[in-house]
Amino acid sequence: MTRYILERFASLILVLFAVSIIVFTLMHSVPGGPFDESKGRLPPAAKENILRKYGLDKPVWQQYLNYMSHALRFDFGIPYQQPQTTVAKLIGKTWAVTVQVGLMTILVAFSLGIFAGMYAAYHQNSWIDNVVTFTATLGVTVPNFVVAMWFILFFAVARQWLPMGGWSSSGQCLIGNYLCTDWILPVIAYALAPMAIVARYTRASIVDVKRADYVRTARAKGVSERVVMRRHVFRNAQIPMVTALGTEIPNLITGSIFIESIFRINGLGKFFVTSTLNRDYPMIMATFLLVALLWGITYMLTDIAYTWIDPRVRLGSKGEG
Partner 1 sequence: MADAAGSPSPPEALVLEGISESRTFWQDARRRFFRNRLAVLGLVIVSFLVILAVFADLLAPFPYDFVRFDRVLKLPFVFPENPLGTDEVGRDYLSRLIYGARTSLIVAFSVQGIALLIGMPLGALAGYFGGRVDFVITRIIDIMTAFPSLLFAILIISVLGGGLRTIIVALSLTSWIIIARLTRSQVLTLREQDFTVAARALGAPEWRIMMRHLLPNALTPILVAVSLGIPTAIFAEAGLSFLGLGVNDPIASWGKMVGVSNAYVRVYWHLALFPTLAIALTMLGFSFLGDGIRDALDPKQER
Binding site for partner 1 (CB under 8 A): 11, 15-16, 18-19, 22-23, 26-27, 29-30, 137-138, 140-143, 145-146, 149-150, 152-153, 157-158, 164, 251, 254, 257-258, 261-262, 272-273, 276-277, 279, 284, 288, 291-292, 295-296
Identity of the residue, 57 or 208, whose beta carbon is nearer to partner 1 in the bound complex: 208
For the CB of residue 224, give the shortest distance to partner 1 in the complex, in Å: 30
> 178-180 and 173-175 as β-strands: parallel, antiparallel, unpaired?
antiparallel
Where residue 105 falls (left for φ over 0; alpha for ψ -120 to 50; beta otherwise) is: alpha
Is residue 269 within 8 Å of 145, Cβ to Cβ? no
Is residue 202 within 8 Å of 112, Cβ to Cβ? no
For the CB of residue 147, give the shortest distance to partner 1 in the complex, in Å: 8
For the CB of residue 272, give the shortest distance to partner 1 in the complex, in Å: 7
Identity of the residue, 16 or 99, whose beta carbon is nearer to partner 1 in the bound complex: 16
For the CB of residue 38, give the shortest distance to partner 1 in the complex, in Å: 12
Long-range contacts of 22-29 (CB under 8 A, 24+ apart): 23/284, 23/285, 23/288, 24/60, 24/63, 24/64, 24/67, 24/285, 25/60, 27/279, 27/281, 27/284, 27/285, 28/60, 28/63, 28/281
Identity of the residue, 100 or 298, whose beta carbon is nearer to partner 1 in the bound complex: 298
For the CB of residue 261, give the shortest distance to partner 1 in the complex, in Å: 6
User: Does residue 197 sit in helix, strand or coil?
Assistant: helix
Identity of the residue, 169 or 261, whose beta carbon is nearer to partner 1 in the bound complex: 261
Identity of the residue, 303 or 309, whose beta carbon is nearer to partner 1 in the bound complex: 303
For the CB of residue 128, give the shortest distance to partner 1 in the complex, in Å: 19
Compute the 3-state secondary structure of the chain and give helix, strand, coil in percent, each to the nearest 5.
Answer: 70, 0, 25
Identity of the residue, 51 or 140, whose beta carbon is nearer to partner 1 in the bound complex: 140
Identity of the residue, 264 or 309, whose beta carbon is nearer to partner 1 in the bound complex: 264
d(CA 267, CA 271): 6
**Other residues' Cβ atoms within 10 Å of the Cβ of residue 41:** 9
d(CA 227, CA 148): 40
For the CB of residue 64, give the shortest distance to partner 1 in the complex, in Å: 16
